[in-house]
Amino acid sequence: MSSYPPSSSAQPTTLRQRLAGLRGPAVPPRPLDARALAALAANPGCGRRALLDGAGVDKNALATALGSPAAFGQSQFAIVRGNSFEAKVKGDGGAELLRLVHAHLDPAAEPPGAGAHVPDLTAAGPEGRSARTALALREATAAKAWTLLDHPMLALEVAGSPAYLEPDAVVVHPDGRWTVVEIKSFPMIDGAADAAKVGAAARQAAVYVLALEKTAGKLAGAEVGHTVLLVCPKDFSNLPTASPVDIRRERSVTRRQLDRLTRVEELAAALPEGISFDPATRTAEELVEAVSAVDAAYAPECLAACELAFHCRDRARTTGAVTALGRSVRGELGALTTVEEALAAASGAGCAEDPTAAALHRAARLRAEALESAAGVGA
């Protein structure tokens, strides 16, 4: 079943058919998840990723067909361990999870008792589950009681294309506040977890908060908390512990970056007719041509977040693009977009009116003078 919602107007239907043609008519769309959206928000200038994600293209299969596969995802052991820990946290009607939320985020409220509500969110397809989640949130807010939504489905429009997101849990407080709960299998040792992993979890949770805010804006008395609860194993045990994480900064950055994304229909409209990213029907050469038709914004950080990163890195190195050296270098070099241009500027062959070229030339002269002086002292 398509993850794109039906529409009554002709334009969205045309766009849906266009996107289906890009990924292959027989290929079901890959749904966008919060991790992918967080990575997309971190690099909003990359039209390539925005289009491929918006069209639901399987980037892992595409990267393999291009000859630059990337190893992503958890090991089977880590997945089993994570599922086991999440089941433990949510066991007994979510009693332990609700206790942690109460203790860390709402100690002044009445403690959740055995009567805490855990609504059934079962429905057909992502659209149905999203509507059922919105209804459950409305009912829980009106009831003014502790409610645990286990794996709710949230909807968020990204670059004109809908994304359906599934957080681990959302808790509704008696005062109408909604809290996102992230359950991770990495340990929290002496009350602190790995900073990089906490940061990634915060960026992921920020996407869920943005999606929840869309629903909360339509309900009186509803409020989305900007402090999420991170639940992890305590020390080296399988016992759950938790820590509040303020994600206001991550939410603000993610919202701003997602707003900057070029709309998917604009990216699709700029492509030549007949282009497809379907490895089953296109040769490697045709796929390279198709991918090259969409502008990318490669940076070394992409290696940890995008399946096409190795392909984009090879292309950036082949063309001598300074993006291969990192975003900070790219920003400092201004209009100089290739390594060859930068080296020419350093040698004095650049545009004299360009302040960046002048600065590079001066830096090169100072370096040469310093090396010459050091060689004289050594002699």
For residue 23, the Cα-to-chain-centroid distance in whole angstroms is 20
Beta strand ranges found along the chain (DSSP E)? 147-150, 154-158, 161-165, 169-172, 177-183, 223-224, 227-233, 240-246
Of 346, 340, 345, 344, the C-alpha closest to 325 is 340
**Three-class SS of residue 165?**
strand
User: How many residues does this entry show for the chain?
Assistant: 379
Distance CA 258, CA 302 (A): 17
> Under a CB-based contact definition with an 8 Å cutoff, are residues 98 and 150 in contact?
no
Q: What is the pLDDT along the chain (379 residues), one digit of tens a residue?
A: 333 344 444 444 477 788 889 998 888 888 888 888 888 888 888 999 999 998 899 999 999 999 988 766 666 777 888 889 999 999 988 999 999 999 999 999 999 987 789 999 999 999 999 999 999 999 999 999 999 999 999 999 887 778 899 999 999 999 999 999 999 999 999 989 999 899 989 999 999 999 999 999 988 889 999 999 999 999 988 899 999 999 999 999 999 988 888 888 889 989 988 899 999 999 999 999 999 999 998 988 888 889 999 999 999 988 888 888 887 787 788 888 888 888 888 888 877 778 888 888 888 888 888 888 887 776 5
DSSP string, 110-163: PPP-TT-B------SHHHHHHHHHHHHHHHHHHHTS-EEEES--EEEEETTEEE
Please give the structure tokens belonging to residue 275. Answer: 């282009």
Distance CA 67, CA 237 (A): 41
- Residue 203: the pLDDT is 92
- Residue 3: the pLDDT is 39
**Three-class SS of residue 91?**
helix
> Under a CB-based contact definition with an 8 Å cutoff, are residues 165 and 209 in contact?
no
- Residue 321: the pLDDT is 85
- Residue 73: the pLDDT is 60
- Residue 379: the pLDDT is 58
Q: What is the 3-state secondary structure (H, E, C) of 333-370?
A: HCCCCEHHHHHHHHCCCCCCCCHHHHHHHHHHHHHHHH
Residue 324, judged by CB atoms within 10 A of its CB (0-12, 13-18, 19+), counts as: buried
- Residue 358: the pLDDT is 84
Distance CA 121, CA 123 (A): 6
- Residue 360: the pLDDT is 85
- Residue 94: the pLDDT is 92
Q: What separation, in Å, do the N-terminal and C-terminal C-alpha atoms of the chain show?
A: 76
